[in-house]
Amino acid sequence: MSARPAAGTGEDPGAAAARLTGRPVTRQRPLSATLTEVTLDGGRTVMVKRGDGPGAVRAEAAGLRWLATADAVRVPAVHGHDRHWLVTGQVPVGRPSARAAARLGRDLAALHTVGAPAFGAPPPDGPTDAYIGLAPMRNVPGTDWPHWYAEHRVLPYLRRAVDDGTVGRGEAELIERACDRLPELAGPAEPPARLHGDLWNGNVLWGTDGQAWLIDPAAHGGHRETDLAMLHLFGCPHLDRVLEGYQEVAPLAAGWADRVGLHQLFPLLVHTVLFGRGYAGQALTVARTALAR
């Protein structure tokens, strides 16, 4: 099966890989509409991803490099990119293990501890207008997490969900009231952490090398509990071991488990915008629970 050229580029993934790596291509195998496995001359296999949104490739490449410079978590190497195409290393996928999960927890703690210049800080060379999945995400720096989180991570998606008719205005007021209470519910102040930013289970690859690898970041400076809340939201194999490993390196502040839902408001509303009403119900449940505390 041959890969089709990306709209407006005149190139297929193999041609893009050859141009960006300087190596001839011997084989290409489409995995999805935007992702292709490409074998280069000499036997190396790379992943070629097409980014459709303005700045999407730049944001992902900058995020991968920013995570890599922390020397903590494992991420695929960036072999080349331009406006439309991103070429990264391939991660041979194996099976999850408790040992790899504990190591992932320790590595995540180390990543977060490296820190970021501010909440909302983009990676160096990363754009302000980035993405989380297919949804736009603005990286606007702030110094106060509760207010920054409400203004730049919760309310923009809530407003869009209201405009789309997915969330009613009365329902939106419930979530807005929960945001108003964030300063008292957010727990002890934390310094900005270096986040993967979109840490759901699908972005954790369990390599044949016995290690967990992270892909597709929406990297930015944020609260470290947000990454962990995403792992809770969509499930992660051996999550208990991930948390044990994390706590060994950087113990979480008291009451962190009660704050998981607050940190999930962001991804839940992103999913409401992208996928519809089902996720709105979960966000409203989180807001009601917060208001009852």
Residues with active-site annotation: 198
The answer to whether 224 touches 190, Cβ cutoff 8 Å, is yes
Can you say whether the dihedral through the CA atoms of 167, 171, 177, 182 is positive or negative? negative
Residue 223's closest CA among 261, 167, 263?
263
Can you say whether the dihedral through the CA atoms of 122, 123, 125, 127 is positive or negative? negative
The answer to whether 280 touches 169, Cβ cutoff 8 Å, is no
Distant-in-sequence, close-in-space partners of 288: CB < 8 Å, separation ≥ 6: 174
| Cα(177)–Cα(246) distance, integer angstroms | 32
- Is 240 in a helix, a strand, or coil? helix
The answer to whether 100 touches 236, Cβ cutoff 8 Å, is no
| Cα(35)–Cα(3) distance, integer angstroms | 10
Q: Determine the residue type at 100.
A: A
Query: Can you read off the two tokens belonging to residue 6?
Result: 């990306």
The answer to whether 34 touches 60, Cβ cutoff 8 Å, is no
Query: Can you read off the two tokens belonging to residue 102?
Result: 């504990």
Beta strand 85-89 pairing with 78-81: antiparallel
Query: Can you read off the two tokens belonging to residue 12?
Result: 């297929």
Q: Determine the residue type at 46.
A: V
